[in-house]
């Protein structure tokens, strides 16, 4: 969740997480207070701008479209929720690059930060895109039967994209990162 906030809202916070990784993992009280405070402020800012969940608040679902599908196809047994979302964040950043919304190399930056915190960045098995797409299709985040993704445009800024071509999604899912 903390890394997600940097990707969706605050590039400086994302950089802080990279620069201070060792202190954060060592549970440095000053760092923890800062990241907890920033995380709460970011979430409160997003929610206060969209209290009825009509648009902006959907950005909090970054990584969840693919993450929930991973949980579904693996029977909720292989990954904790946060791990599946971490993988989803990487795949959705790769999807954004494939669609030309995110500058080449930025997905690798996101992946590297997630990996540096010991979170998985790819599925440990090859994901079959057919059941993955089926799982995404029944997700609550679909709009009129069309998949909706939160895709980074840069670190600290995302867009909500509906109707991404299935062949592009399949290509990203089939890759072993």
Give the least confident one: 74-83, 85-94, 130-139: 130-139
pLDDT: which is higher, 93 or 51: 93
Predicted confidence at residue 177, as pLDDT, reads 54
**Burial track 20-53 (b if 16+ CB lie within 10 A, e otherwise):** beeebeeeeeebeebbeebbeebbeebeeeeeee
Dist. CA 90–CA 177, nearest whole Å: 9
Place of tokens 């997003």: 46
**Which homologous superfamily is 2-174 in?**
Dehydroquinate synthase-like - alpha domain (1.20.1090.10)
- Residue 158 backbone dihedrals phi, psi, to 5 degrees: -130, 170
Query: In the chain, where are the structural domains located?
Result: 2-174
Average pLDDT value for residue range 63-69: 94
Q: Are the CB atoms for 99 and 151 separated by under 8 Å?
A: yes
Residue 176: band (very low, low, confident or very high) from pLDDT cuts 50, 70, 90 = low
pLDDT over 70, % of the chain? 98
């Amino acid at each position: 969740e903390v890394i997600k906030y940097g990707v969706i809202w605050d590039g400086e916070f994302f950089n802080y997480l990279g620069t201070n990784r060792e202190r954060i993992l060592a549970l440095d009280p000053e760092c923890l207070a800062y990241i907890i405070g920033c995380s709460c402020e970011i979430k409160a800012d997003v929610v206060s701008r969209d209290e009825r969940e009509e648009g902006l608040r959907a950005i909090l679902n970054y990584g969840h479209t693919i993450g929930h599908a991973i949980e579904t196809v693996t029977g909720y047994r292989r990954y904790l929720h946060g791990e599946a979302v971490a993988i989803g964040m990487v795949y959705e950043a790769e999807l954004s690059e494939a669609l030309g919304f995110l500058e080449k190399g930025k997905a690798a930056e996101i992946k590297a930060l997630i990996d540096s915190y010991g979170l998985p960045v790819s599925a440990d098995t090859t994901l079959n895109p057919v059941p993955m797409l089926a799982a995404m299709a029944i997700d609550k985040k679909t709009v009129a039967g069309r998949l909706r993704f939160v895709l980074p445009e840069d670190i600290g800024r995302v867009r909500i994209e509906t109707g991404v071509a299935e062949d592009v999604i399949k290509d990203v899912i089939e890759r072993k990162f």
